[in-house]
Amino acid sequence: MTDTDDILRVNDLSTRFFTEQGQVNAVDELELRIERGEVFGIVGESGSGKSVTARSVIDLIDAPGEIIDGEIWFDDAELAETVREDAPDAVDGSFVDLLSVSPAVRQSLRGTSFSMIFQDPESSFNPSLTVGEQLAEAVEVQRRASANPRSTKAKTDSAEYSFGNLLLSTVLPSQQFVTEESRERAIELLELVGIPDPVERADEYPHEYSGGMLQRAMIAQALAGEPDVLIADEPTTALDVTIQAQILDLLDDLQTETGMTILLITHNLGVVARMCDRVGVMYAGEIVERGTLEDVFDDHVHPYTEGLLGSIPELGGANGQLEPIGGNVPSLLDHEMEDRCHFADRCPMAMEDCLDHPPEFDAAGSEAHTVRCVLATQSYTEREALPPNYFGDTERPAGDKHAEPAHSDGEQPAERTRTTISDSGGESR
């Protein structure tokens, strides 16, 4: 891989959640390289850690979550210059390690360098303000930030944003912190994302918008600061297919137009196929297989990737019985995770070597294709296969061959990630 094009390099990123049930290893020593101008997709099932990865990059992890280790190198020569004085260790050439700079600097990058769109547009807007106001506010914040790039925080703490001022603004128009220029820019943004009659629409409240239009408005808001990297967390999951197609086309067009980099988080393999240049498949907090779209869809090595693709009913023709992956997404609780391949207990091809945690092996296909599975270096042999009930009692009731393994020893079935991650992951702001 040519490293000159990278805009983002994530090394050894580990994000943990410290919950009552124990420590949850949501993201575990994750490596990620994203090139400038590409669309990188992270695909995985719920609870695999894909949203937490995205949120870690943009520093939106709330308690009880914490990024406990890792480096996030971001390529921005200008930022590198500014930071060099205060934190020389955090700079390497034009790259800046976002995790070693001060939180204020990180915050100043939000909107201007990184921006995020969320899954559920309906809950991401304030219902009591018009869409135009909310967009103009984003524009205003970005404008002030770029006027004085590294101190957005100081700006937003100033008298202009005080509570008294907010009350005053309800009676005195002059006190409103959204200027006329910001409003106009907001309307331009609405037009850019294809909202008909943006001037009128700007004065409407979120409930007057349809789901697809709100998602457009949210994209407009994310574009307010002309970000280098747009993180889209399940941007079309809440939408109908015809609207999903519109939104994907819009993202595609905007990407071509602005050349921005998109990190797309989704569970939908069709969306990945439509949008992405390169893909990472996440499982249990790790990327288990990554590469170009062709590598992952056609030349995949990991049985999990195989299982994911085999689970989708085909639109083009009946593909007989589906071949689902048995079992459930595993527990990410630290004390329940063993140091082995995390997929081994569901894997139809588990071998003795899978009891050691596999590193990332190079795999056939493009240079970028790597896989966290021993099958990259050896082929499956019956001789080394693990006995079927190796991982506890996996005996299934005779009546159903698609059953999930029974949990016999009083251990809780895979449930935990829902309760822990969903508070912090997901869509709300």
Of residues 331 through 360, those in contact with another protein by CB under 8 A are none
Q: Using CA atoms, how far apart are residues 428 and 229, in angstroms rounded to an integer?
A: 20
Q: Using CA atoms, how far apart are residues 337 and 335, in angstroms rounded to an integer?
A: 6
Task: Kindly report the three-state secondary structure assignment for every residue of 71-108.
Answer: EEEEECHHHHHHHHHHCHHHEECCEEECCCCCHHHHHH
Nearest distance in Å: CB 121, another protein:
13
Position 313 contacts another protein (CB under 8 A): yes
- DSSP letter for 50, please: H
Nearest distance in Å: CB 402, another protein:
4
Residue with Cβ nearer another protein (257 or 314): 314
> DSSP readout, 189-209?
HHHHTT-SSHHHHTTS-GGGS
Q: Using CA atoms, how far apart are residues 6 and 230, in angstroms rounded to an integer?
A: 15
Nearest distance in Å: CB 307, another protein:
6
Of residues 379 through 398, those in contact with another protein by CB under 8 A are 396-398
Position 406 contacts another protein (CB under 8 A): yes
Q: Which two tokens stand for residue 353?
A: 């070597």
Nearest distance in Å: CB 124, another protein:
18
Q: How many residues would you count in the chain?
A: 429
Position 103 contacts another protein (CB under 8 A): no
Q: Among 18, 404, 423, 426, which residue sits at the site for another protein (rule: CB under 8 A)?
A: 404
Query: Which residues are 262's β-sheet partners?
Result: 39, 230
Nearest distance in Å: CB 25, another protein:
19
Q: Using CA atoms, how far apart are residues 376 and 300, in angstroms rounded to an integer?
A: 10
Of residues 196 through 255, those in contact with another protein by CB under 8 A are 196-197, 199-200, 210, 212-213, 240-246, 248-249
Binding window for another protein (CB under 8 A); candidates: 55-63, 83-91, 255-263, 294-302: 294-302
Nearest to 227 by CA among 139, 161, 152: 139
Of residues 32 through 91, those in contact with another protein by CB under 8 A are 45-46
Residue with Cβ nearer another protein (139 or 414): 414
The contacts of residue 145 (CB under 8 Å, 6+ apart) are: 108, 111, 112, 152, 155, 225
Binding window for another protein (CB under 8 A); candidates: 56-64, 74-82, 227-235, 293-301: 293-301
Position 273 contacts another protein (CB under 8 A): yes
Binding window for another protein (CB under 8 A); candidates: 59-67, 81-89, 372-380, 407-415: 407-415
Q: Give the count of beta carbons closer than 10 Å to the beta carbon of residue 275.
A: 24
Nearest distance in Å: CB 171, another protein:
25
Residue with Cβ nearer another protein (132 or 227): 132
Q: Among 165, 268, 366, 422, which residue sits at the site for another protein (rule: CB under 8 A)?
A: 268
Position 309 contacts another protein (CB under 8 A): yes
Q: Residue 305, SS3?
A: helix
Residue with Cβ nearer another protein (166 or 406): 406
Q: Using CA atoms, how far apart are residues 60 and 8, in angstroms rounded to an integer?
A: 17
Nearest distance in Å: CB 208, another protein:
12
Q: Among 322, 356, 377, 378, which residue sits at the site for another protein (rule: CB under 8 A)?
A: 322
Binding window for another protein (CB under 8 A); candidates: 137-145, 332-340, 380-388, 405-413: 405-413
Q: Among 86, 188, 226, 323, which residue sits at the site for another protein (rule: CB under 8 A)?
A: 323
Nearest to 192 by CA among 246, 134, 254, 142: 254
Position 170 contacts another protein (CB under 8 A): no
In the block, which residue shows the tokens 């071949």?
323
Q: Using CA atoms, how far apart are residues 295 and 279, in angstroms rounded to an integer?
A: 9
Q: Residue 4, SS3?
A: helix
Q: Among 20, 85, 257, 400, which residue sits at the site for another protein (rule: CB under 8 A)?
A: 400
Position 171 contacts another protein (CB under 8 A): no
Position 415 contacts another protein (CB under 8 A): yes
Q: How many residues bind another protein (CB under 8 A)?
A: 65
Q: Using CA atoms, how far apart are residues 254 and 110, in angstroms rounded to an integer?
A: 19
Q: Using CA atoms, how far apart are residues 116 and 54, in angstroms rounded to an integer?
A: 9
Q: Using CA atoms, how far apart are residues 195 and 264, in angstroms rounded to an integer?
A: 23
Would you call 30 exposed, middle or buried from its count of C-beta atoms within 10 A (0-12, 13-18, 19+)? buried
Residue with Cβ nearer another protein (150 or 396): 396
Nearest distance in Å: CB 80, another protein:
34
Q: Give the count of beta carbons closer than 10 Å to the beta carbon of residue 170.
A: 9
CB 231 within 8 A of CB 110: no
Q: Which two tokens stand for residue 103?
A: 């939180």
Residues in contact with another protein by CB under 8 A are 45-46, 196-197, 199-200, 210, 212-213, 240-246, 248-249, 267-275, 293-294, 297-298, 307-316, 318-319, 321-326, 328-329, 396-400, 402-404, 406, 408, 412-415
